[in-house]
């Protein structure tokens, strides 16, 4: 049982670390970090998004997304469609600079997915994601129950 736990946690941590490393290496020339990349990717692929959408998609808290969006707006990657009292509900759009980087991010993600999926059949990939979803949902349930 302990070996299973160690294997699981080491592999999950290694995957997470490698994803962050790839994000940081690929976007170093733009001085972007992991949260910036996730925001740009989702705004690009959804053709616009709100901060609330990004919190849900990126699985990040409001403060992290807010800081990332402030950085992206200040550095000319995004713009807000309209000004309103509810800044978190404002649609975010890519500038030309943001669109260029968003496309580069999306292309890189497609390439990485092609490489990591190369050794799997469609059935294996589907089963892997099904199992990963079950594990994720189970861990969420355990974490909520342990808070009581």
What span, in angstroms and rounded, lies between the C-alpha atoms of 25 and 15?
Answer: 15
Whether the full predicted model's pTM is greater than 0.95, yes or no, is no
User: Is 40 in contact with 101 (CB distance < 8 Å)?
Assistant: yes
pLDDT reported for residue 87: 65
Q: What is the pLDDT of residue 70?
A: 94
Of 86, 104, 2, 87, residue with least CA distance to 45: 104
Burial code of 78-103, b = ≥16 C-beta within 10 A, e = fewer? beeeeeeeeeeebebebbeebbebbe
Instruction: For 45-89, write each residue's pLDDT tens digit.
Output: 999 999 999 999 998 889 999 999 999 999 999 998 666 656 667
Q: Answer with the residue of higher pLDDT: 87 or 39.
A: 39
Q: What is the pLDDT of residues 91-136, one digit of tens each?
A: 899 999 999 999 999 999 999 989 988 889 999 999 999 999 999 9
Quote the pLDDT of residue 42.
Answer: 96
Q: Looking at residue 65, what is its pLDDT?
A: 94
Band the pLDDT of 19: cuts 50, 70, 90: confident
């Amino acid at each position: 049982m302990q070996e299973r736990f160690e294997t699981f946690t080491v592999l999950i941590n290694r995957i997470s670390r490698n994803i962050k490393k790839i994000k940081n290496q690929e976007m170093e020339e733009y001085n972007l970090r992991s949260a910036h990349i996730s925001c740009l990717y989702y705004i690009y692929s959804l053709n616009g998004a709100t901060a609330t959408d990004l919190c849900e998609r990126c699985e990040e808290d409001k403060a992290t997304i807010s800081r990332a969006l402030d950085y992206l707006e200040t550095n000319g990657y995004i713009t807000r469609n309209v000004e309103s009292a509810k800044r978190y509900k404002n649609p975010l759009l890519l500038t030309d600079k943001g669109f260029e980087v968003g496309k580069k991010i999306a292309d890189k993600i497609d390439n990485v997915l092609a490489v990591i999926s190369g050794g799997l059949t469609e059935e294996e990939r589907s089963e892997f994601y099904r199992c990963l979803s079950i594990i994720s949902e189970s861990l969420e349930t355990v974490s909520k129950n342990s808070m009581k």
